[in-house]
């Protein structure tokens, strides 16, 4: 959370953070505190349990094997992307600028 990303923090733009309860959990809490210090709203996707930071919205994803956490924590993000695209009127089945194959010469 340095320079460019920190400059984008504003009260109008929520920050969504996927944070498993692993050895980097404390660093993620520190990043949330930086965002909150700049009045940025935070939505956390994490495992069940109390968060040590007050005033953030959190979605709990079941705890599983550490190797599966990236998959499980991504599901809510995919659903969010789907619903935001649908709300904005985007063509969900044919996203703009999507390359379905790559050719290498």
Known catalytic residue at 2: no
Q: What is the DSSP letter of 61?
A: -
Max CA separation in the chain (angstroms): 53
Residue with tokens 């290498």: 104
Cα–Cα distance measured from residue 79 to residue 72, given in angstroms and rounded to the nearest whole number: 12
Ramachandran angles phi, psi of 104, nearest 5°: -115, 130
Query: With the C-alpha atoms ordered 45, 49, 53, 56, is the resulting torsion angle positive or negative?
Result: positive
**Cβ 45 vs Cβ 81: under 8 Å:** no
Catalytic residue positions, numbered: 100
């Amino acid at each position: 959370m340095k320079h460019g990303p920190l400059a984008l923090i504003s009260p109008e733009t929520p920050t969504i953070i996927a944070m498993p309860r692993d050895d980097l959990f404390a660093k993620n809490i520190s990043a949330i505190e930086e965002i909150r210090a700049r009045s940025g709203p935070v939505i956390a996707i994490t495992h069940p349990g109390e968060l040590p930071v007050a005033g953030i919205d959190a979605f709990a994803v079941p705890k599983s094997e550490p190797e599966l956490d990236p998959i499980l924590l991504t599901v809510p993000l995919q659903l969010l992307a789907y619903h935001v695209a649908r709300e904005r009127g985007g063509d969900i089945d044919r996203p703009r600028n999507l390359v379905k194959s790559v050719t290498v010469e």
